Amino acid sequence: QGTRVGFYSRTCPRAESIVQSTVKSHFSSNRAIAPGLLRMHFHDCFVQGCDGSILIDGANTEKTAGPNLLLRGYEVIDDAKQQLEEACPGVVSCADILALAARDSVVQAGGPSWAVPTGRKDGRVSLASETSNLPGFSDSVDVQKQKFAAKGLNAQDLVTLVGGHTIGTTACQFFRYRLYNFTSTGGADPSINTAFVSTLQSLCPANGDGSTRVGLDNGSENRFDNSFFSNLRNGRGILESDQKLWTDDSTKTFVQRYLGVRGLLGLTFSVEFGRSMVKMSNVEVKTGSNGEIRRVCSAVN
Ligand code: HEM
Ligand SMILES: [Ca+2]
Ligand SMILES: [Ca+2]
């Protein structure tokens, strides 16, 4: 695959600690950057591989495409890059900074740590038109599985990585349709817990502001824990795509295994999350002469 843990240990020994301290200091003033950076790394890896293509500014780049409009945390990557260019000019790729920052974000939010293989090169292509690889909030489980399989990720990786929704928020606009007039008789999506429907309706009124934000893991949006899976079991998933992981047998089993349901082989979310993240962070990685080390993360050299 071409990446390895400790790629910068000789060429830039402080690389990982510089990224870590940068994430830490931004996180201390704004906790929303943790989910922001985790999601940004995912959106990077699914388009042109984990190559920093999401970071490039300009007309019709990935950033400008619908699914990426609400990404947050670009300033953290720029800040880390600036410090790294001072410490070891031309050595550390933006793609690696983002992969490391995603891990450090999870740690800041109280989640597990894992060793991140590094050595990615930065890509030179970033096209809004290529973002259709990204899964959508109303995708069926079959479509979600297909989009992950196209990146070499299986159903367990899907459930595990979507478990990243244990932190962060969503805008009302991405799930409000489930609350009003979802059924032919005018009701809410029947897969939502009935008591929870009114809670969500008060958070996202029918004619309210679609940009209002609601935690993806109700009651635990700032903590990287198992609670997201309990919420799915209880019909308290926010996105339609998330709740469907509980409706479909092929993914439900993994949710149940994370919940420690009796009779099933247990799985530990905090262990598996790191494993699946390493898999995802190696998707279509560019190494060697197949890319560059950008000087500035928002522009190709
Ligand atoms: C089927 C797959 C997925 C779908 C359909 C999906 C969809 C979404 C949507 C619609 C949002 C709300 C965006 C907003 O309003 O700002 C969101 C947020 C988020 N997603 Fe996903 N996602 C998926 C998989 C993942 C994966 C694999 C990860 C990371 C490993 C991830 C991490 C996050 C995080 C952390 C947030 C919160 C962002 C924030 O608070 O700024 N998602 N996702
Ligand atoms: Ca990319
Ligand atoms: Ca949580």
Q: Does ligand 1 have an atom closer than 6 angstroms to the CB of 291? A: no
pLDDT digits (tens, 9 = 90+) for 136-152: 999 999 999 999 999 99
* Structure token digits, residue 106: 């999870």
In whole angstroms, what is the distance from residue 291 CA to residue 215 CA? 37
Q: Yes or no: say if 73 and 86 are a contact pair by the CB < 8 Å rule.
A: no
Write out the residues surrounding ion ligand 2, Cβ under 5 A: 44, 47-48, 51, 53
- Residue where a domain terminates, one of 83, 114, 134: 134
Average model confidence (pLDDT) across the chain: 97
In this structure, which ligand is nearest to the CA of 225?
3
Ordered DSSP codes for 141-208: HHHHHHHHHTTT--HHHHHHHHGGGGS-EEEGGGTGGGTSS-STTS---TTS-HHHHHHHHHHS-TTS
Residues 170 and 102 in one domain: no
Predicted confidence at residue 227, as pLDDT, reads 98
Q: 158 and 115, same structural domain?
A: no
Ligand 1 mean position to 214 CA, how many Å? Answer: 12
Q: Are residues 70 and 171 in the same domain?
A: no
* pLDDT tens digits for range 56-74: 999 999 999 999 999 999 9
pLDDT, position 144: 98
pLDDT at 160 > cutoff 60: yes
Q: Tell me whether residue 26 is in a domain.
A: yes
The per-residue pLDDT for range 94-122, each reduced to its tens digit, is: 999 999 999 999 999 999 999 999 999 99
Determine, yes or no, domain membership for 117: yes
pLDDT at residue 170 greater than cutoff 70: yes
Ligand-binding site membership of 135 (annotated)? yes
Euclidean distance between CA atoms 168 and 186, whole angstroms: 30
Q: Which of 101, 134, 167 is the last residue of a domain?
A: 134
Asked if residue 292 belongs to a domain, the reply is no
Read off the amino acid at residue 108.
Q
DSSP letters spanning 1-62? ---EETTTTTT-TTHHHHHHHHHHHHHHH-TTHHHHHHHHHHHHHTTTSSSSGGG--STTSG
For residue 263, the enclosing domain spans 141-276
Count of the separate structural domains present in the chain: 2
Name the closest-CA residue to atom 2, ligand 1.
Answer: 135
Together in a domain, 207 and 234? yes
282 is a domain residue: no
- Specify whether 43 is catalytic: yes
For 275-291, write each residue's pLDDT tens digit.
999 999 999 999 988 89
User: DSSP class of residue 128?
Assistant: G
pLDDT of amino acid 288: 85
Predicted-assembly ipTM surpassing the 0.95 threshold: yes
49 labelled binding-site residue: yes
The residue with tokens 């069926």 is: 140
